[in-house]
């Protein structure tokens, strides 16, 4: 059973019957004598995917959620339903579009992700921190464009649009930070 003083990024807790995962946490010590330290945190609701803000007193007890994690492979999309398969048991699961919280823009067939289960049913998905994608569409680089920190829009095959440096071309493979949806680097092929 976690304590509010033990909260840090990634810790899961149960609040009013819903499972949450801590996204950001701050401790605020009051200036008045005898006042208790406050724990301010933002946490993601694992069922709805929404971020919520909480304020707790330091030392409060919290409940552990009945959240289980399994490795699963993304199989295919069928309209607004996404199908996954447990990599160990080969059991298949469906998740609706609204349970993915934006992760659908990163899903490609055969991608292995972590599926979260709450009370035995799948509720959300966790992507790898960084993933590599080929550029499907972008404007060509223009010789002489050497100004630093200038970007252009590139579209991936999944439909995700990302700001990339001017030297990136259609067909290049780039690494994307999935937590922020931003360009990290160009991936060198054939090392």
| Average confidence score pLDDT of the chain | 85
CATH H-level, domain 130-186: superfamily? Nucleic acid-binding proteins (2.40.50.140)
The reply to whether the predicted model has a pTM over 0.75 is no
How far the first Cα of the chain sits from its last, in Å, is 48
Q: What percent of the chain has pLDDT over 70?
A: 92
Res 16: pLDDT = 87
Q: If you classify domain 4-57 with CATH, what class do you get? A: mainly beta
Fold agreement (4-57, 67-126): no
Provide the CB-side half-sphere exposure for 181 (13 A, CA).
Answer: 16
Average pLDDT estimate for 95-108:
85
- Give the start-to-end residue ranges of the domains of the chain: 4-57, 67-126, 130-186
Q: Which residues contact 99 (CB under 8 A, 6 or more apart)?
A: 47, 49, 122, 123, 124, 125
Q: Which residues contact 69 (CB under 8 A, 6 or more apart)?
A: 114, 115, 116, 117, 126
Tell me which of 58-67, 127-136, 169-178 is least confident: 58-67
> What is the Cα–Cα distance from 31 to 176, expressed in whole angstroms?
43
pLDDT above 70: residue 174: yes
pLDDT above 80: residue 34: no
Res 176: pLDDT = 93
For the domain covering 67-126, report its CATH number: 2.40.50.140
Q: pLDDT tens for residues 115-168?
A: 988 888 888 888 899 999 999 998 876 666 556 678 889 999 888 999 998 888
> What is the Cα–Cα distance from 160 to 177, expressed in whole angstroms?
12
């Amino acid at each position: 059973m976690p304590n509010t003083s033990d909260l840090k990024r990634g810790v899961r807790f149960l609040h009013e019957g819903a499972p949450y995962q801590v996204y950001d946490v701050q401790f605020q010590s009051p200036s008045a004598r005898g006042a208790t330290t406050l724990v301010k945190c933002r946490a993601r609701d694992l069922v709805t995917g929404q971020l919520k803000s909480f304020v707790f007193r330091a030392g409060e007890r919290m409940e552990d959620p009945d959240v289980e994690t399994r490795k699963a492979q993304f199989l295919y999309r069928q309209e607004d339903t996404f199908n996954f398969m447990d990599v160990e048991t080969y059991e298949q699961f469906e998740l609706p579009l609204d349970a993915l919280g934006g992760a659908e823009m990163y899903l490609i067939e055969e991608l292995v992700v972590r599926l979260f289960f709450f009370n035995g049913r799948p509720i959300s998905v966790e992507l790898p921190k960084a993933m590599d994608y080929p550029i499907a569409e972008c404007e060509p680089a223009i010789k002489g464009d050497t100004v630093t920190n200038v970007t252009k829009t590139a579209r991936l095959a999944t439909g995700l649009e990302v700001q990339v440096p001017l030297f990136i071309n259609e067909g290049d493979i780039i690494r994307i930070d999935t937590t922020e949806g931003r360009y990290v680097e160009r991936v060198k092929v054939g090392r």
